Amino acid sequence: MTVRPGTAERRPDGRRAAPRAAPRAARLSPWVALGTAGALLASMLTGLLVGAAEIPPGSVLLQLLDWLPRVEVDSGLDQGELGVLAELRLPRVLLAATVGGLLAIAGAGYQGVFRNPLADPYLLGAAAGAGLTTTAAIVFTRGDGEAFLIPASAFAGAVGGVMLAYTLGNTAGRGGGVATLVLAGVAVSSFLAAVQTFLQQLRVEELQRIYAWILGDVGGGWEQLALIAPYAAVSTVILLLHGRLLDVLSVGDDEAATLGLNAARVRLVVLFAASLATASAVAVSGLIGFVGIVVPHAVRRLAGGSYRVVLPLSLIGGGAFLVLADLIARTALAPAELPIGVVTAFVGAPFFVVVLRMTRRAEM
């Protein structure tokens, strides 16, 4: 059934659904762009200045200047302080920004593919699928093989989880509506979590490492950052290049076809890229939920619904969000640390309820 932008369609129960309007033109306010970039830089700088080890903030700033090309400044840091800054804080902040950006842009990509505001790497089974296969890699492999098997298995699990949830949603309910897709994702995630628990029992001695990964952690260091860098670069570039095409898809497949757009091919490419981004993040950070819902919706509130704007701002905003979440996780109960997934859940769970209520009101 063709639905023209700005017109209403009949739902199966005979009631009129809300009109589907084309997204607003992509006019990004420079203040919003500067504010988002400023939030990322401020959060990263705060993450470098704050930590369990007491390092003078002025010395940290001088050392950052010293790392710039053709700049030589004596920061006054001793070898121990320099090691903490260079080997612990800096890679942790960069990894948190990378993982947060990947999860946020993946969530925006899933929402564009499914035209569903509740689509999210965690809710659609991608994170659970990647978690299952990554747990299998931890349980059954040892040594250097993990460096290749963990991201590869995480990608396969992410794609499999999303495809399973999408297929189940389409077969269980006509048209794959919001509620149907969410329920399908929850069912798939629960099943995959059960299989993951079974695998954990096969190697009890690995439980501590597996649970530490499941609860979320971005303290992997430079090796983990280098591990996901190529996957992150490829998935991010693909998603950013498809912003305009997702805008066209948002008005309906028939309208997209009249413009010469192959909707199935666009969905497949975006789904591939979003799953790769999710798999990359999950492989090094564990299961961190709600980033893919909170950040894209906040961006839409600030900058409108065009994916040419939502995708890049979600990438930047997601990095800022997770850096701040990690900062709270390592300072709230210092010297102990909260799992970062706990912090994002405290923010994301109430936010998800608000989004769900708004979505249901729009469908009535």
Summarize pLDDT for 261-314 with one digit per residue, the tens: 888 889 889 988 998 898 888 888 888 888 998 999 999 888 888 999 999 999
One-letter amino acid at 285 equals: S
How would you label 160-181 residue by residue, b for 16+ Cβ within 10 Å and e otherwise? Answer: bbbbbbbebbeeeeeebebebb
CA angle 177, 243, 96 (to 5 degrees): 90
Can you tell me the distance from the alpha carbon of 354 to that of 358, in angstroms, rounded to the nearest whole number?
A: 6
What is the model's pLDDT at position 173? Answer: 59
Residue 12 has what pLDDT? Answer: 43
Report the predicted TM-score, pTM, of the whole model to 2 decimal places.
0.84
Q: Which domains does the chain have, with CATH numbers?
A: 91-363 (1.10.3470.10)
Q: Which residues of the chain have pLDDT under 50?
A: 1-14, 16-25
**Own/partner pairs for 326-335, CB < 8 Å, 24+ apart?**
326/47, 326/92, 326/93, 326/96, 326/218, 327/43, 327/46, 327/47, 327/50, 330/51, 330/52, 331/50, 334/52, 335/52
Nearest to 352 by CA among 23, 123, 37, 114: 123
pLDDT of residue 8: 42
Q: What DSSP string runs through 117-184?
A: TT--TTTTTHHHHHHHHHHHHHHH--GGGHHHHHHHHHHHHHHHHHHHHHHHHHHHSTT--HHHHHHH
Residue in the structure block whose two tokens are 């819902």: 293
The model's pLDDT over 149-165, given as tens digits with 9 standing for 90+, comes to 777 787 788 888 888 88
Q: What is the pLDDT of residue 141?
A: 74
Q: For residue 86, what is the DSSP state?
A: I
Task: Report the distance separating Cα 17 and Cα 362, nearest Å.
Answer: 8
